[in-house]
Chain A
Amino acid sequence: MKPYDRVLAIAKVYMGPAAESFLARQCTVGLKIEAANIAIPDFKYLAIWVEVAACRFIETAKAAEMAKRIAGLC
């Protein structure tokens, strides 16, 4: 499984169909990379961006949980 698929699988649990677009945006805006090219070392920084951005759409606790799970993929 590619790193992107792994992180997408986690994001889908929280964001549903918006997960793909949401992750693509965090990767391009925050990490300045294409989502498909994300590597395992990037997960740590992606998790920080995800936590901040996801708070607008889901509960803070769930956003933190998603970020923690993404960071845990490293």
Chain B
Amino acid sequence: MLWRAHAATTSNCGLSMRISNTRTHSWEAGNYMKPTIRNKLVAGFSGVLLLMAAVAGIGMYSVFRLRHSAQDATRVGGQLNAVALEIQVHNLEAQRRIKGYLTDVKTIGAARAREMYLDEAAFEIHEIGTLADRAVAIAPDAEKRAKFQKIASSVASYEKALGRAVEASEKGHTDAEAAAADAAYDTSAEQLHENAEDGEAAGRDAAQTSQDDITRTSRKAVWFSVGVSLLGLLVGSTMSYTLARAILTPVDHLKEVAESVSMGNLDVSVKRYSEDEIGDLADSFSRMVAAVKYFRLEMESTEQSPAAAQDL
């Protein structure tokens, strides 16, 4: 009894030592490259994780790029539109004040009229020039830039015409001269108004173009993300299928062989499909079948005739 217990302990120790040795051995340097199931699973899952990370990275990149592009487009289009509208507002206000000046200068006097109308009008005209310069700087293309440049240049001629009209009304020029100066002012005011309207249209167009850009970029980003996701799905599915097949095919074969042996058929062929743990299992199973076959034949031969057992 004592001997049996000792033997069992020794045997268990031997087994655990063997298991321990196997475990230690399986993680020695160089074993990482062996095609074991552990390594296959680690490689497979790492591959799928990398793939998912790549898909997520590309998705994030396209989303951030879309966002950046949308912000850019919105900023340019929106700003240009706002500037164009502001120019138009300043232009209308300037012309309203100048009309008031020209109407009232003779009744309230030049000094009072200047104070009431011209100072404000000068401020509005200055604002138009500043805004036109800013619009030229941010305009997204040459066509729109040219429209705002026209506003800037028409502001200069408008100022000149205004100066002449003011001079004619304040310095008591003849009616014909004053009428000519007023007419020149009206023409340049009309010109500025038209240019400002063109600028407004250009601003609206820029805003619409921005919207179109955003739509186009977002559509492109969606298709790109869908494409990358589908590609990732395809590669991931292929990897999973290959991994599952690499593991399940030898397991299925071993299962069939084990079922055959369990039914008493020892004439089986155990194939070693792979150089991994299942391959080792196939070898062990093969060894076991060989031993069973040998012992059975030995027993049958001994039962029939001891001499026949010599043939084994």
Residues in chain A within 8 A of chain B (CB atoms): 12-19, 21-22, 25, 28-29, 53, 56-59, 62
On chain A, the residues within 8 Å of B286 by CB distance are 58, 62
Residues in chain B within 8 A of chain A (CB atoms): 269, 283-284, 286-288, 290-291, 293-295, 297-298, 309-312
For the complex, would chain B's binding face be called helix, strand, loop or mixed by DSSP majority? Answer: helix
The reply to whether A16 and B312 form a contact with Cβ atoms under 8 Å apart is no
Which A-B residue pairs are the 10 nearest by beta carbons? A16-B287, A18-B294, A18-B291, A16-B291, A57-B290, A58-B290, A57-B293, A17-B291, A57-B294, A29-B310
How many residue-residue contacts, CB under 8 A, span A and B? Answer: 44
Counting chain A CB atoms within 10 Å of each CB, the highest count among B284, B286, B290 belongs to B290
- Complex: chain A residue closest to B293, CB-CB: A57
Assuming A21-B298, A56-B297, is B290 touching A15 (CB within 8 A)? yes
On chain B, the residues within 8 Å of A28 by CB distance are 310
A16-B291, A22-B312, A57-B294 are known contacts; what are 17 more A-B pairs with Cβ within 8 Å? Answer: A12-B287, A14-B290, A15-B287, A15-B290, A15-B291, A15-B294, A16-B287, A16-B288, A17-B291, A18-B291, A21-B295, A22-B294, A29-B310, A56-B293, A57-B290, A59-B269, A62-B286
On chain B, the residues within 8 Å of A13 by CB distance are 283, 287
23 contacts between A and B (CB under 8 A): A12-B287, A13-B283, A14-B287, A14-B290, A15-B290, A15-B294, A16-B284, A16-B287, A16-B288, A16-B291, A19-B291, A22-B294, A22-B312, A25-B309, A28-B310, A29-B310, A29-B311, A53-B312, A56-B293, A57-B291, A57-B297, A58-B286, A58-B290
